[in-house]
Structure 1
Amino acid sequence: MHKAEKKYEVGKVTDEEQAKQRQLKGILNKLTPQNFEKLFEQVKAVNIDNVVTLTGVISQIFEKALMEPTFCEMYANFCFHLAAALPDLSQDNEKITFKRLLLNKCQEEFERGEREQEEANKADEGEVKQSDEEREAKRSKARRRMLGNIRLIGELYKKKMLTERIMHECIKKLLGRCQNPDEVDIEALCILMSTIGEMIDHPKTKEHMDVYFERIKLLSNNMNLSSTARFMLKDTIDLRKNRWQQRGKVSWDPRYPLSEELAKLATVNVYSYHKIGSAFLERYRPQSYPPVRRISEFC
């Protein structure tokens, strides 16, 4: 375990630390599937020897992933390799690991998304005075971050950076609003299911998944939802029936370049969960699962 040589005060960032973060940002800005290995070595060469630097690089990876969700799989892979390459840190006799800080960031972004959605809804209800443009910009930004974060969470799970139990908690959270479902939550749920479905849907979790999909079926027939939301839910049901084999899935081998045309298409359709598929699925079977909840418990 690597012990941090300096103790950093909260809110205080040294000139040396700012220089490190600028260097890391410059490297991450150039990251593509083609130059992955080369730039990974460059990040490793930066002296990530304390909690401040490690927290900073995780935050920068998250920001990149949320702004470029088409490449969430690549950023999750980057986290996977970085966690293996970096030593655990110790500060104030407390062990600090990459995975622990990553989990904290996932939770922080998830809760932030919920707050921003609530604020946007308050604006819609007239509780906050804003112009139509300001209100729509706030809603759009909150939606982009929420959907990008949920896609990244799913990709991190596929790399075993997050546990299956956490995925179940995310699903239950997104299914939680029974009487007045939020359409952004529904879209996030469909993205998460399309990302992790093949990996999380196995005999040991069948009872849980059946309960989730009973709820999804009820939502898909809720006429208070837009037709777009209902179709997304129905497509997710069909996806499970088809054993999670997505039609028209866009994927690529990171060893080969992604054409500019295809990259542009992927970016345009990045939030259409049925347009952009996930690749390189892995099987992982944990030993314990959260208690099964009946549909009534979601309401």
Structure 2
Amino acid sequence: MVQRKVNALLNKLTLKNFESLSDQIIVYANKSRGERDGRILREVIRLIFERSCNDSKFCAIYVKLFRKMMERVDPEIVDESIKNSDDKFVQGGTLFRKYLISSCQEDFEKGWKINIPSPSNESDLTSDKYYAAAKAKRKGLGLICFIGEMFKLNMLSESVMHDCILKLSIFEDSPKEEEMESLCILLNMVGKHLDHKTKEKDMNSYFDRLEKISKLPSLSNRIKFMLMDIINLRKNDWNPQRDIDSLINELTLGMI
């Protein structure tokens, strides 16, 4: 019942009707009050989170919705399986944030790797195998977009962003292409906000590393060009030439 109602509201959600529809979604999320495990709240978070990762065009509005939900969730909602350092049940907005961050962290730590088949003819582009692979890749890159949007709305800290960048840029032997793609998406979104005097040393270190990675002979030309685009983006004061969704579309189709 809740799943069907929330999905119907999400299908209609736009910036124009955001306030009224988001209020209705929060009403459904708050039906978790009286539960002992936050089940309904977790389900509503899952529905929105999956949509956000699957369609980067609407990522910003879904993160905006999450921000509002975190502030407006019923403070009496509780999950008796989760306690804080004072041995008290985590509730309300704190519980909401914990659920959401856990979803992000779990998917990010798990990572994504998918081999999109190289189409030999036009019919291959419509095959089930190609479609499934492209969908999985879009979801992986959509997660990175989601993380970037959360940071921009102050739902994730700078230190978390630096941790993500480090995880994506450190590797054994040779870099994984999916991690390099994710790194480029993330830096494209948040690099400008991280590139200030107090973190200049860290940022210089990241980009020195990117320069070295871009020269690795084992790396495909496609990834090398992506890395050089990010390096040049910083040199040009972070003035992007295209939006994130178009970049994800190109990456999904392996067209860069």
CA drift of 1:269 comes to 4.9
- Is the alpha carbon distance of 1:103 and 1:198 closer, same or farther for their aligned partners in structure 2, counting shifts above 3 Å? same
Is the CA contact (8 Å cut-off) linking 2:145 and 2:185 kept in structure 1?
A: yes
> 2: distance between equivalents of 1:104 and 1:269?
27
Q: Deviations over 1:126-159 (max 9, x none)?
A: xxxxxxx776555434322210001100100111
Q: By percentage of residues, which structure has more helix?
A: 2
Q: How does 1:203-242 map to 2 (within 5 A)?
A: 203-242=197-236
**TM-score normalised over the length of structure 2:** 0.80
Matched, 1:31 2:13: yes
Match of 1:86 among 73, 81, 88: 73
Identical amino acids, percent of aligned pairs: 34
Match of 1:186 in 2: 180
CA drift of 1:164 comes to 1.4
Give the ranges of 4+ consecutive aligned residues of structure 1 lying more than 6 Å apart after TM superposition: none
> 2: distance between equivalents of 1:153 and 1:268?
17
- Is the alpha carbon distance of 1:213 and 1:48 closer, same or farther for their aligned partners in structure 2, counting shifts above 3 Å? same
Match of 1:61 in 2: 48
Higher relative contact order structure (alpha carbons within 8 Å, sequence separation ≥ 6): 1
> 2: distance between equivalents of 1:47 and 1:199?
32
Match of 1:257 in 2: none
Q: How does 1:124-163 map to 2 (within 5 A)?
A: 136=130, 139-163=133-157
- Is the alpha carbon distance of 1:178 and 1:213 closer, same or farther for their aligned partners in structure 2, counting shifts above 3 Å? farther
- Is the alpha carbon distance of 1:167 and 1:21 closer, same or farther for their aligned partners in structure 2, counting shifts above 3 Å? same
Is the CA contact (8 Å cut-off) linking 2:52 and 2:58 kept in structure 1?
A: yes
Is the CA contact (8 Å cut-off) linking 1:156 and 1:162 kept in structure 2?
A: yes
Counterpart residue identity of residue 97, structure 2: K
> 2: distance between equivalents of 1:166 and 1:198?
15
Match of 2:4 in 1: 22
Match of 1:15 in 2: none
CA drift of 1:171 comes to 0.7
Is the CA contact (8 Å cut-off) linking 2:22 and 2:65 kept in structure 1?
A: yes
> 1: distance between equivalents of 2:29 and 2:229?
46
- Is the alpha carbon distance of 1:98 and 1:54 closer, same or farther for their aligned partners in structure 2, counting shifts above 3 Å? same
CA drift of 1:230 comes to 0.7
CA RMSD of aligned residues (A): 2.4
- Is the alpha carbon distance of 1:140 and 1:32 closer, same or farther for their aligned partners in structure 2, counting shifts above 3 Å? same
Gaps of 5+ in 1: 1-18, 122-132, 251-265, 274-299
> 1: distance between equivalents of 2:231 and 2:246?
24
Gaps of 5+ in 2: 33-37, 81-87, 116-126, 252-256
Match of 1:11 in 2: none
CA drift of 1:179 comes to 2.0
**TM-score normalised over the length of structure 1:** 0.69
> 2: distance between equivalents of 1:240 and 1:73?
23
Length, aligned pairs only: 226
CA drift of 1:199 comes to 1.0
Is the CA contact (8 Å cut-off) linking 1:147 and 1:191 kept in structure 2?
A: yes
Match of 2:111, SS state, is: helix
Match of 2:109 in 1: 111
Q: Deviations over 1:99-124 (max 9, x none)?
A: 1111001012213434xx2xx57xxx
Counterpart residue identity of residue 104, structure 1: S
Match of 2:50, SS state, is: helix
